[in-house]
A = this chain, B = another copy of it.
């Protein structure tokens, strides 16, 4: 499919898709036509973009995602892929626990605020 359809189906702008491609998160091939230089994207790319955008929403950087994509889909050796995935999983879990710490703090603050409300 061409970038327009991919954009439509992925919910990402053309610009963002091109940015991701430039950063090696996805790849494409030249279209069959000899008269243009349009890029052709496979259906797989759609799945990859879904992963990428959920990763971005979760706060994972593009360069981290590039490593992960390489581990998943690239042809690098599986034991290195394993290392990357294990490492990133650990990072993400650390991140979750950081956020949960903040949530705990917020919960405590909420209790205090509500006590203040009661007294008023």
Contact = CB atoms under 8 A, between A and B. Distances in A.
Interface string A17-45: 00000000000000000000000000000
A26 B107 CA distance: 21
Interface residues of A, number: 38
Interface in A58-79: 58-60, 68, 71-72, 78-79
A102 B68 CA distance: 11
Nearest to A55: B102
**Which 8 A-B pairs give the minimum distances between C-beta atoms?**
A58-B98, A58-B99, A59-B59, A78-B116, A89-B106, A85-B110, A78-B117, A81-B113
Interface of A: 51, 54-55, 57-60, 68, 71-72, 78-79, 81-82, 85-86, 88-89, 92-93, 95-96, 98-103, 105-107, 109-110, 113-114, 116-117, 120
